[in-house]
Amino acid sequence: MRVLCCWLWLSLACLGCAAESSETVPEPAGGDARYTIVTTTAMVTDIVQQVAGDRATVTGLMGTGVDPHLFRPSTSDHSKLLAADVIFYSGLMLEGGLDPVLKKARERGKPAFAVTEEIDPAYIRYSAEFEGHPDPHVWNDVAAWSECVAYVAEALAKYDPPHADEYAANAERYRAELAALHQYAQKVIASIPEEQRTLVTAHDAFEYFSRAYHIPVKSVLGITTESEAGVEDINSLVDFLVEHKIPAVFIETSVNSRNIEAVMEGAAKRDWQVKIGGTLFSDAMGAPGTYEGTYIGMLDHNATVVARALGGEAPERGFQGKLAATP
């Protein structure tokens, strides 16, 4: 039997506390003193930073390469969360390990917001296998993540009403960039010849990407990041690659590439050479301080690398000419 995805079992183990609402009445910040925000994943950190601007110091808990499904806050993470003025997290049961400390923070009257709190329900995907559980990887659809940016501005306006206009303006400016990125991704993915337009990766973090940019996705492991694929999973993927002459498969920064290698070897035995099209960012972004370490850079990298490796047309340096040159 297929092993449950880590985000599923974490959330199942934590159903009792997942019902917590973020309807805490925030205390207004007042004045112009900088306040502190603690965030979880780098994707959340980036959009909160964009909207808060200079009003707050934003500290993210999860660095490069951290698997948010498995994240457990350390003692120092606990202290940071409880000392913050405001907390933002991704939500949709992504960070199941944080539930106890979020509960504690809320009991102390601390505002804690899931950025996905008010996203249009039409955007949310639910796992076919386990009805009722959302797929948390919503940042892989730029239009959906852009709604979260709007929500961050609303949440900060509740916390700090005197600067509401500033947060709204920051969100609007950033969302215009996201709209352009979304269009770019649609365009470059659409340029891949239809027969080859399938994204083969190690785990199912790309279902939102698939839906938003119209590229079917196949993964070796379904929705888990933890188990090893069975021989049947590998063989059926090999059949697919050979039959459709798919030129490339993709590895992910936070997931072991062993299964993908097995698939490539299987195809090679049948005289179909598949190359590694590149490394995609799925649950974590690139190194801090680099373009790929921003949300826009992460999505630009993924769309550009996929389009180019599968025979589509995309500029080597991506959407804004800022991607690192390929070696």
Report d(CA 318, CA 302) in Å as an integer.
10
Count the neighbouring beta carbons within 10 Å of the beta carbon of residue 111: 22
Three-state DSSP string of 21-34: CCCCCCCCCCCCCC
- Our finding on whether 135 is near Zn ion (CB under 5 A) is no
| Selected range binding Zn ion among 38-46, 147-155, 229-237, 278-286, rule: CB under 5 A | 278-286
Binding mask 232-271 for Zn ion (x = CB under 5 A): ----------------------------------------
Closest to Zn ion by CB, 39 vs 219, is: 219
The CB-of-7 to Zn ion minimum distance in angstroms stands at: 6
Report d(CA 307, CA 287) in Å as an integer.
22
| Selected range binding Zn ion among 22-30, 37-45, 83-91, 283-291, rule: CB under 5 A | 283-291
Closest to Zn ion by CB, 87 vs 205, is: 205
Report d(CA 16, CA 19) in Å as an integer.
6
| Selected range binding Zn ion among 105-113, 152-160, 275-283, 314-322, rule: CB under 5 A | 275-283
| Selected range binding Zn ion among 163-171, 232-240, 280-288, 299-307, rule: CB under 5 A | 280-288
> Residue 298: exposed, middle, or buried by beta-carbon count in 10 A (0-12, 13-18, 19+)?
buried
The CB-of-282 to Zn ion minimum distance in angstroms stands at: 6
Q: Which amino acid is at 101?
A: V
Closest to Zn ion by CB, 160 vs 283, is: 283
Backbone dihedral angles phi then psi of residue 274, each to the nearest 5 degrees: -110, 135
Closest to Zn ion by CB, 69 vs 308, is: 69
The CB-of-223 to Zn ion minimum distance in angstroms stands at: 8
* DSSP sequence for 66-85: --TTT----HHHHHHHHH-S
Closest to Zn ion by CB, 147 vs 283, is: 283
Mention every residue, 6+ apart, whose C-beta is less than 8 A from residue 15.
none
Q: Are 253 and 243 in contact (CB under 8 A)?
A: no
Applying CB under 5 A, the site for Zn ion has a residue count of: 2
Q: Are 151 and 159 in contact (CB under 8 A)?
A: no
Binding mask 174-213 for Zn ion (x = CB under 5 A): -------------------------------x--------
- Our finding on whether 283 is near Zn ion (CB under 5 A) is yes
Query: Site residues (CB under 5 A) for Zn ion?
Result: 205, 283
